A and B are shown apart, each in its own frame.
Chain A
Amino acid sequence: MTFFARIRLVTFVLILLGIAVAPLSAQKLGPDGAPNPDASVTDQRTLLDQAPRIQGRIDIPDVKASVLIQPMGRTWDYFHEVLLHWGGAIVIIGTIAVLALAYLIIGRIRIAAGRSGEKILRFKAFERFSHWLTAVSFVILGLTGLNVTFGKIVLLPLVGPEIFSEISEIAKYIHNFTSFAFVAGLVIIMVIFFRDNLLARVDFEWLRQGGGFIKNRHAPAGRFNLGEKMVYWLSVAAGIAVSASGFVLLFPFYGTNIADMQLAQAAHAIIALLFIALILAHIYIGTLGMEGAFEAMGTGEVDLNWAREHHDRWLAEQLEIEGARPSATPAE
């Protein structure tokens, strides 16, 4: 080999050796000079400071399994077992207590002028159907839903673990499938009662006159008074929220990760509990709380004096329409 060829060869080998050895500079050494294999490792606490959960690479197709540690699970457990149990108990038992107090103090609100014996149509058949579809679904959903949170405290000691599991499993499926009836009913209610629930000037007058709770004052109202409008709007809002979060729960991990599922469950539970409290009050006033109220949704017809006392503007409109229409019955 020529002299220059030899020099080229040696230089080439030295360059190769240099490239091969270069990564050694990346090796981190410990304080005593020995190599420290853990120098580049991010430890658990640092990883958890950077993100709420530690996630890595996994060989199996199940993406959920790539989460190594999610400490939020314990937080969600605390929320569900402590906060939700106490909060829910206070909200529901508190609402029942307040309603009981209302009944003891105010009592059943009577029709001041007494029944006239004459009726007027307030809710048509389709309107009543939509209400009862939603109402019955709500009660079923409420009871089966409450079983998930409170069943093991309230029902399990009574029936024992095997029967309680049977009941709970059936309740779970009933809850999941009845939800669709509820959503259908809610959508119908939202649409057909929308216009009559828009706020109007008369609602502030109703509020100023004490909403019918002060004996000697007359509170005017249209088809729905402010209280009823509040129930409508709160129900629509809560209904949409509970349906959306429930939908997420029905299809777990479709585009959601574990934090999303925990949030969906928390939202679903909190809103549902408040919704139950609202509906308990609604049921109270529609049954016990006010004479002449139930038949509006029951038969669809209400007493004229009841309508005059609680929905005078609506009654006036209805009578005007009826007066304008030629009479169906022949004159005697």
Chain B
Amino acid sequence: MARMKFLCDADRCIDCNACVTACKNENEVPWGINRRRVVTINDGKPGERSVSMACMHCTDAPCAAVCPVTCIYPTDDGIVLHNKDLCIGCGYCFYACPFGAPQYPKVGNFGSRGKMDKCTYCAGGGGSEAPGSAAEYAKYGSNRFGDGKLPLCAEMCSTKSLLAGDGDIIAQIYGERVRKRGYGSGAWGWETAYHEDIKL
């Protein structure tokens, strides 16, 4: 069974934010919610690297464990989905997430932050709406996965630094790249997300 993951090759990422734009457009993400973002480490210094980050769809997802109403759950493909009908907007998933993936539509004083939203791997939502339906799209965004497609952020990456797909395959692609060009700064976030790292 394929286990879906993300891998951002920080040595190829040029901080163009095409992934961010693709995600926002494809899922009609509201203002202020940033499902995907690009963070630049050591900006302006030698060794500057940019990493594109959204939900990593972790193994033993801490967000799912900590949710008081158990509205987050992993699917058989390893994609972590959540049910906005059950979400009470407590904000605990954001405290637990090592990658800052959960986003909320409102500021959040007095617990008013609203229903959590995050990267769905373009696989729709974890609620009761029919996959691929208009109702699902309005709440969770596009369901490309149901059509057998990969997330749009990785598809639109201008340098093919953001890889999405079966974990073994993208690990292999990245490993080959590193071997061919002779350098690689590692699979950012893999140790924390999947409890495994890619040997280079």
Whether chains A and B associate is yes
| Chain A residues near B (Cβ < 8 Å) | 26, 30, 34, 36-44, 47, 54-60, 62, 64-74, 76-77, 80-81, 147-149, 151-152, 156, 161-162, 164-165, 168-169, 172-173, 176-177, 250-253, 258, 261-262, 265
Are A68 and B188 closer than 8 Å at their CB atoms? yes
Give the docked Cα–Cα distance between A329 and B145 (Å): 88
Are B183 and A252 closer than 8 Å at their CB atoms? no
Measured CB to CB, the nearest residue on chain B to A150 is B68
Complex interface: chain B residues within 8 A of A77 (CB): 62, 65-66, 96
Give the docked Cα–Cα distance between A72 and B97 (Å): 9
Known: A68-B41, A258-B95. A37 touches B51 (CB 8 A): no
Closest CB-CB distance, A250 to chain B, in whole Å? 6
Closest CB-CB distance, B95 to chain A, in whole Å? 5
Closest CB-CB distance, B51 to chain A, in whole Å? 6
Measured CB to CB, the nearest residue on chain B to A73 is B98
* Set A38, A57, A80: member contacting B185, Cβ < 8 A: A38
Closest CB-CB distance, A34 to chain B, in whole Å? 7
Residue-wise interface mask of B (101-134) relative to A, using a CB-CB cutoff of 8 A (1 in contact, 0 not): 0000000111101000000000000000000000
Give the docked Cα–Cα distance between A36 and B62 (Å): 37
Known: A73-B96, A164-B69. A43 touches B186 (CB 8 A): yes
Residue-wise interface mask of B (71-92) relative to A, using a CB-CB cutoff of 8 A (1 in contact, 0 not): 1000000000000011111111
The answer, yes or no, to whether B166 is at the interface (CB within 8 Å) is: no
The answer, yes or no, to whether B191 is at the interface (CB within 8 Å) is: yes
Tell me which of B31-39, B136-144, B148-156, B167-175 binds A: B31-39
Are A152 and B69 closer than 8 Å at their CB atoms? yes
Known: A74-B96, A76-B95. A59 touches B38 (CB 8 A): yes
Complex interface: chain B residues within 8 A of A26 (CB): 46
Are A34 and B182 closer than 8 Å at their CB atoms? yes
Are B110 and A169 closer than 8 Å at their CB atoms? no
Complex interface: chain A residues within 8 A of B65 (CB): 77, 81
Q: A161-B71, A165-B87 are in contact. List 13 more A-B contacts (CB 8 A).
A: A54-B41, A58-B38, A65-B34, A66-B39, A68-B99, A70-B99, A70-B100, A77-B96, A172-B89, A172-B111, A176-B111, A250-B109, A258-B95
Known: A38-B183, A68-B51, A165-B86. A56 touches B39 (CB 8 A): yes
Interface of B is mostly: loop
Scoring B32, B49, B68, B110 by chain A CB atoms within 10 A of each residue's CB, the highest score goes to: B68
Interface of A is mostly: helix
Are A58 and B39 closer than 8 Å at their CB atoms? yes
Measured CB to CB, the nearest residue on chain A to B56 is A69
- CB pairs A–B below 8 angstroms (13 shown): A38-B183, A38-B184, A38-B185, A41-B49, A43-B186, A56-B39, A59-B37, A60-B34, A69-B192, A77-B65, A162-B86, A173-B110, A252-B109
* Set B39, B40, B53, B92: member contacting A80, Cβ < 8 A: B92
Interface residues of B in 9-26 (CB under 8 A from A): 10-11, 17
Are B53 and A250 closer than 8 Å at their CB atoms? no
Complex interface: chain B residues within 8 A of A70 (CB): 98-100
